Amino acid sequence: MDLPSDQTIRGLLKSTVNASKISKGVQRRITSERSEERLFLSPYSQASVELLVVLDRLEGLLASETSEALGAPCLNIATENSLSIAWGPPADDFSPRAEDGMNRYELQMAQQLPASSLMGPFRSIFRGAALSFTVEELCPNRTFSFRVRSLDALADRGSEEEEDWSPTANFDTLDGPAFQFDNNPCYLGASIFLSADGLQATYGSNESWKTLLGDQPFSCGRNSWEIRIESSATAYLFVGAATREADLNTFLGGDDFGWGYIGDRALYHKRTKLKVYGERFGEGDVMGVCLDLTRGTLSFSKNGLDLGVAFEGLGVINTALYPAIAFYNQGQQVSLVTSSFKCPGAGAFIADSPVSVGTSEARVLAHVLGCIKSRARLPSHLLEAAFEEYVAWGKRRALRYPTREGFELLFDTSPEALKSVMWQSEGEACLSWSRMVTPRGLGTVIGVANGQLWVHVDGEAGAWLFSDGDIKEGRALGFFVPSDDAGPLPKLLEDDAVEDGALESTGAQESKEEMRVQQESKESSEREAPRPERRVMGALEDFKACVDCPRWNAQADAALVRAVNEWCDKQPESAAKTPWNISPGEAWPLAAAAELRLRRLLGPSWRDASAEHLCRATLARLVFLRRVNHLIDRCLPLIGLGDGLQLSSRPSRQASRWGEAPKSLGLAVGPPLSTWSNEPDPDRKFSNGAGFGLGPLTAALRGIVFSSTKKRVLRASVVRTMTKAKKAEDEYDYPEALPIVMLNRPKAAAGRNRRDPETRLSLSLFGQLFDELHFLEPATMRLGYTHPMDDGQERTFKVKFEGEGVDDYGGPYREIFSQIAGEVQSIEQVLKTESNATRRNAKQCILPLLRPSPNCAFEDAPGNDKVVVAPGQTSNSFLEAYNFLGQVIGMAIRSKVFINFNLPSVFWKGLVGEPLEGLEDLRAFDQAAANMAQHVDQLARDRATDKIDETELAAALSGLDWSTKHSGGTDPIELGGSKGPAQAVTPDEAKEWAEELTWTRLHEADTALFAIRDGLASMVPASVLALLSGGDLEVAVCGRYEVDLDILKKNTEYDDDLPVDGETVQRFWRVLESFEHDERSAFLRFVWARSRLPATAADFVQKFKIQAAVGEGPKQSPDAWLPKAHTCFFSLNLPRYTTDEVMAKQLKYAMYNCIEMDADFRLADNEMTGWDEADEKDAPI
């Protein structure tokens, strides 16, 4: 049967699937969900984005080989909030292909900048075969620019030119109100009724507060509006502003997120009456509100009379503000006076901000990730954008910096860019590190983004913009001029300031010496590297030749990103280093150190390249990966990662996008990178089959995602999924919703001697905690609460130790996680009976959830101290315990309690769905099995190449059959399914046997791992887990293996009696540096009830405190006294020991002998429960 032509398929596609309509609907849904500030959008939106990706791919495969020149877009219909744009070939070209949609087009839009007449950068809003598109959710009375091009012309030519775009056309939305009352059901109370036009609100309840917001955010400019009070029997009515986080079920100003002015002359914020203000207002009055975000003030007027500034300091708010009112009495009614609106900052659009992302960016990302996976040619426009950033980076004129609202932008820090926005007089100069006077106070100039000046004002959370109008008006009032104030210099700018020799002009004299030392250190590290100008390629074609995907592969990309991530994690918190702001001088040594590994991964394509050329290419590829990460960072809410991470509690989903889940994958969401094609093919087009959706591609390429992005998403997911307990009336009382668990440690100690493994499990601390918590809803276990005495430690439950007078102010809470980890991994020696009735000495874990890895039997084996999940424990009771173990791990992540789980890579990779790498992962816990599988596989290869004959292979396979043993198992298990365990392995089956052995051992505990992953996913969203690698998760749970004393020093505070440069403190650090790793871990357990440090300095929730010993005894005879630790407060009372040897001896004695917690209060005799059981001894097991 003849297949239909491409033209027929495209015609059928267009007649049955309206991609333009789908795109508009999805974008509308995205806008609505984004207003709810979700971390990840709904599965419906994510699946719709995937559908658009599929349609893009299908249209790309069927693209026409010719295209028509395009004229400027034209306007079909304009409304207050939408523009309908059309385009097509010139009037003299009536090609039927255009009418039939045989060509694909890209439409881009630029928006008028906030509070400015300037236009922002273009961004893609539509890709497809349609000849028109309607842009919705626009602000009234704004100007927008449009341009269009044919994608088929690009595909045919293989490159991009500026001439590809049509002439630009500008269109305006119609006049209308800048905002209305928000009718989103998520924010509109049931007792508030809005008019059809959204300009009037009426309250239907009585004597209960309800707050109502406007539907547009304000983030910049001077904005004013008026509200007419149509009806109100009392003065209980608020006007003002609030953030989206405000509690709408209380009055305006009843929390940290609202600022309200009530009708009886009072201002409220943080549920506090700040002061008497203004005049009383009520029915018939017109109240004016002026939100001046240039100055950070909120003012009010009554019937045209200015009442003055009510609130100041709103510039420090790290999110947008909304107009707000609050009702109390039934029948209250207010109306917006639209003729009074002057709101240049309403719905302000900032390119590259989270609110600017849409379906077009997601579809571009899918295409780029597909190219990386398939090693296909990259889009020229992306390479050109990366090259521009690369050149600016090489010249130190590009900076990624956080904004006040939390997202990061790339800034142009060149003097030329700053001059273009500063309205400077002749001879004036402005640099990105200079200090400046602004209407909100002194600040540091950051740079230019979207054609506007951004300044980090002192005390604010990040940089924020000032429009050209703000600057022009402000300069007339004495603002936006240089300042000699010393002020704090943001760490991200210090290198630029030093390099430009501009420290003196900043006035930051106190940091001059520190900067000089840093600069000398940097120069020393770069001495062997080429000069800065030689590190950067100057030609676009050279850049493309080195960076394009046919010369790279995903494994090399992941290795490069891992090296940069690890370097950044080791830097002090004050340096604020991320892959986004690493300098060329810092990146060059990393590239040089990774040269050999990259050559091995990249293969023959770089065999003849010099070391210097490969390093320059590596830096160029790093900048390209920064562009890719920028896209990933923006598009993450649209990516359905959670669908691929299969949970045992739900059926397999989205098989068409993720591909079927073959037996070989186990818990993974796709094949390992090592199975992808490693042969460069410049003409290859990436596959469009299963596994090439946006979600699968992102999960498969998780190794190229910067750790800073992963950490941000993990932290945000914890906050967004947190259950907040209702506070008690007294802040020192615990909320009712906080679970209180009773644990009996003597009972757990006695239970270790029981014969029955399940009884030991039940009596253990893990079993007791399981009994206390496992029946609770996961939402309760996601509770986040910090008591005023907890010193910042967030908790999900409170611990009470029976028979011990201990108060849980954080120490016992952390201790229980450490004790559980030690309990489930505790190993003992036993006699085991083999299948042939012989007995042998063996090791086993005291609790039956884990087993010592086979490598524990060999001193020289890698990971000989690791344990593995016990295979074969598949009863419901054990699966419930495994599920709870996953929840314990999740609670530890949420509470930032690092615990020492010494498990191999197969465990961590399984929990996040990362593919296993065969022998490498097997060798991590069973070296003997990995060596055997590798040996047999090599024999099969040798036979295939005639290096050995069949007789030699058969002799080598003698004694092998189709069976093996699990970790710690004694009974043989079958390999290969239908082979039969007693059947001998033939030479033809050698390769298959090696593969079956490897697979069986790697997946021996998948059932238990699925249960653990179920529990973990109830604490941490599956969408986040699928973004992490196994190593990322291990670090998030366990912290860093090595106790980094440099990080600990930077997070240490000292008592006034023990100065940092004093002999006692210096002796302490010398002694600690002399400790082995295990001794350092024991010290941490002694002072903080945890055995590992956080991964980075930024993860510390408490500072380590070194304090002088208390009492006359330690002061008079310090060498005779032990140090005293307070685990709740991470503090150490340290006597002034006279020698290093004495201090080391006393510290070690305390670390290993004083591990129990001192009582905080005395118990009555009838409260001393459980201690009798600790003396009971069963017969030996």
Which 3 state secondary structure label does DSSP give 403?
strand
* Per-residue pLDDT reduced to its tens digit, 208-260: 999 999 988 888 888 999 999 999 999 999 999 999 889 999 999 999 999 99
Higher local confidence (pLDDT), 678 or 627:
627
Provide, rounded to the nearest whole percent, the portion of the chain with pLDDT above 90.
24
Q: What pLDDT was estimated at residue 1061?
A: 84
Q: What is the C-alpha separation between 5 and 567, in angstroms, rounded?
A: 54
Q: In this predicted model, which residue has the larger pLDDT, 19 or 988?
A: 988
- The tokens for 307 are 């009442």
Q: For residues 878 and 728, which has the higher predicted lDDT (pLDDT)?
A: 878
Per-residue confidence at 503, pLDDT binned at 50, 70, 90? very low
The neighbour count for residue 575, using CB atoms within 10 Å, is 17
- Of the candidate ranges 356-370, 549-563, 923-937, the one whose mean pLDDT is the lowest: 356-370
| pLDDT in the model for residue 648 | 62
The mean per-residue pLDDT over the stretch 836-848 comes to: 73
For 233: left if phi > 0, alpha if psi spans -120 to 50, otherwise beta; the answer is: alpha
- Tell me if 1157 sits within 8 A of 1128, measured CB to CB: no
What pTM was computed for the model?
0.78
DSSP state of 573: G
CB-based burial, 729-742: b 16+ in 10 Å, e otherwise: eeeeebeeebeebe
Q: Is 954 left (phi over 0), alpha (psi -120 to 50) or beta?
A: alpha
1137: number of Cβ within 10 Å: 24
Pairing of strands 1104-1108, 1124-1126: unpaired
Worst-scoring range by mean pLDDT, 395-409, 528-542, 1066-1080?
A: 528-542
997-1011: pLDDT as tens digits: 888 889 888 889 999
Sheet containing 132-135, strands listed edge to edge, beginning at the edge strand earlier in sequence: 74-78, 83-86, 132-135
Strand partners, 194: 201
Query: What is the Cα 897 distance to its own chain's centre?
Result: 18
What pLDDT is stored for residue 10 in this prediction?
Answer: 64
Residue 200 has pLDDT above 90, yes or no: yes
Determine the Cα–Cα distance for residues 551 and 1012; give it in Å rounded to an integer.
40
Looking at the DSSP bridge assignments, the partners of residue 903 are: none
Q: What's 1101's DSSP letter?
A: S
Q: Taking the CA of residue 674 as centre, how many other CA atoms within 13 Å lie in the half-sphere pointing to its CB? A: 9
Q: Which helix (H) or strand (E) holds 469?
A: helix 468-476
Could you please report the per-residue DSSP string of 782-838? TB-B--TTSTT--BSSEEEETTS----SSHHHHHHHHHHHHHHH-EEEEEEE-TTS-
Amino acid identity of residue 1039, one-letter, is G
What pLDDT digit, counting tens, does each position of 513-549 carry? 444 444 444 444 444 444 544 556 678 888 888 888 7
Q: Residue 356: how many CB atoms within 10 A of its CB?
A: 16
Of all residues in the chain, what percent carry a pLDDT higher than 70? 80
Q: Which residue has the tokens 């940089």?
A: 463
Alpha helices of 573-706 — where are they, by DSSP H? 584-593, 595-602, 611-635, 655-658, 694-700
- Cβ proximity of 288 and 218 under 8 Å: no
Taking only the tens place, the pLDDT of each residue in 748-776 is: 988 888 888 889 999 999 999 999 999 99
Residue 685: per-residue pLDDT:
40
Distance CA 991, CA 1131 (A): 58
Is 70 exceeded by the pLDDT of residue 691? no
Burial 861-895 (b: 16+ CB within 10 A, else e): bebbebbbbbbbbeeeebbebbbbbbbbbbbbbbb
8 Å CB contact between 1002 and 921: yes
More confident residue, 511 or 536: 536
Largest CA distance in the chain: 104
CA distance 1001 to 381: 47
Report H helices in 35-105.
Answer: 43-61, 96-99
Q: What is the pLDDT of residue 1163?
A: 45
Arithmetic mean of pLDDT over the chain: 80
383-391: average pLDDT = 87
Highest mean pLDDT among 178-187, 500-509, 619-628, 647-656: 619-628
| Residue 491 predicted with pLDDT over 80 | no
Neighbours of 623 (CB within 10 A): 23
Q: How are beta strands 839-845 and 827-833 bridged, if at all?
A: antiparallel
Write out pLDDT tens, residues 1128-1171: 778 888 898 989 899 998 888 888 887 555 544 444 444 445 54
Strands 266-269 and 452-457: unpaired
Angle of the 595-602 helix axis to the 611-635 helix axis, nearest 10:
80
Alpha helices in 62-202 (DSSP H): 96-99, 151-157
Gap between the Cα atoms of 268 and 280, Å rounded: 15
Q: Find out whether 1015 and 886 touch, Cβ atoms under 8 Å.
A: yes
Is the pLDDT score of 908 beyond 90? yes
Mean pLDDT of 573-599: 84
CB 66 within 8 A of CB 156: yes
893 has pLDDT over 90: yes
Closest by CA position to 446, among listed 490, 510, 509, 499: 490
pLDDT at 781 over 90: yes
Cα first-last separation, the chain: 73
pLDDT at 568 over 60: yes
926, pLDDT greater than 70: yes
Query: What's the average model confidence in pLDDT over 26-45?
Result: 75
d(CA 623, CA 616): 11
Query: Per-residue confidence at 48, pLDDT binned at 50, 70, 90?
Result: confident
CB 327 within 8 A of CB 230: no
The 3-class secondary structure across 538-560, one letter per residue, is: CCHHHHHHHHCHHHCCHHHHHHH
d(CA 146, CA 620): 32
**Average pLDDT estimate for 691-700:** 82
What's residue 146's pLDDT?
Answer: 92
Q: Which of 405-409, 538-542, 962-966, 1020-1024 has the highest mean pLDDT?
A: 1020-1024
pLDDT 10s digits, 844-875? 888 999 999 998 888 777 777 889 999 888 88
Quick one: average pLDDT of 303-321? 87
Check residues 608 and 682 and name the one with the higher pLDDT.
608
Helix-strand-coil percent breakdown of the chain, rounded to 5?
A: 40, 20, 45
Kindly tell me if the per-residue pLDDT of 1175 is higher than 80. no
Query: Which residue has tokens 């530890």?
Result: 892
Cβ burial 579-612 (10 Å sphere, 16+ → b, else e):
bbbbbbbbbbebbbebbeebbebbeebbeebeeb
Distance, in Å, from the CA atom of 120 to the CA atom of 110, rounded to the nearest integer, reads 6
- List CB contacts of 737: < 8 A, sequence separation 6 or more: 723, 725, 726, 780, 783
Q: Are 433 and 501 in contact (CB under 8 A)?
A: no
Give the mean pLDDT of 414-443. 80
Beta bridge partners of 169: 146
- What local confidence, expressed as pLDDT, does residue 536 receive? 63
Q: What number of CA atoms fall less than 13 Å from residue 247's CA on the CB side? A: 13
DSSP 1173: G
Highest-scoring range by mean pLDDT, 421-430, 619-628, 650-659: 619-628
E-state strands within 419-468: 435-438, 441-449, 452-457, 464-466
Length of the chain: 1181
